[in-house]
Structure formats: C-alpha cells, structure tokens
C-alpha cells in the first residue's frame, strides 16, 4: 500500500512538471509566430504600403467623383 501511494505521489509531481513545460512551449510558439509576422512585415512592408495607398487613393477618387457627379448634375 505504501508503495502504491509513493507511485501516485510521483505521478502527481510529474504531472505538475508537465504543466510548466507546456506553458513554456506555448510561449515559444507565440514568440515564433510574432517573429514570423514581424519578418513578413519587414520584407513586404513597402509593397503592402503601396497596395494600401493605391486602394485608398482609388476609393478617395471614386467618392469624390461620385460626389461631384451627384451634386453637379
């Protein structure tokens, strides 16, 4: 009986150690994803900026042309 209790206590302690390891693994996973996002933004930042700027300009010109057409006509 005493041997059984010792085995159960060892299993419980091992389970506690595993929780800490999984927290570290999740932290490393989040850090990896963040590093990947930063890398992608760094590499493609100028291209993305120009795409969004062109889209913004197109929308702005479209709204201006609609506003002048409806009020002018």
Domain boundaries, the chain: 1-61
Tokens for 59?
């929308």
* pLDDT band for position 16 (cuts 50, 70, 90): low
Helix (H, G, I), strand (E, B) or coil at 73: coil
pLDDT per position as a tens digit, 31-70 = 999 999 999 888 988 888 888 888 888 888 766 555 445 5
pTM of the prediction? 0.45
Measured between alpha carbons, how far is 28 from 31 in angstroms, rounded to an integer? 5
Residue linked to tokens 């150690």: 17
For the chain, how long is the longest CA-to-CA vector? 95
């Amino acid at each position: 009986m005493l041997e059984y209790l010792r085995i159960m206590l060892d299993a419980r302690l091992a389970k506690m150690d595993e929780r800490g390891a999984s927290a570290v693994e999740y932290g490393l996973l989040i850090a990896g994803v963040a590093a990947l996002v930063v890398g992608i933004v760094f590499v493609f930042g100028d291209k993305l900026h120009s795409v969004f700027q062109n889209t913004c300009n197109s929308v702005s010109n479209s709204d201006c042309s609609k506003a002048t057409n409806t009020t002018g006509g």
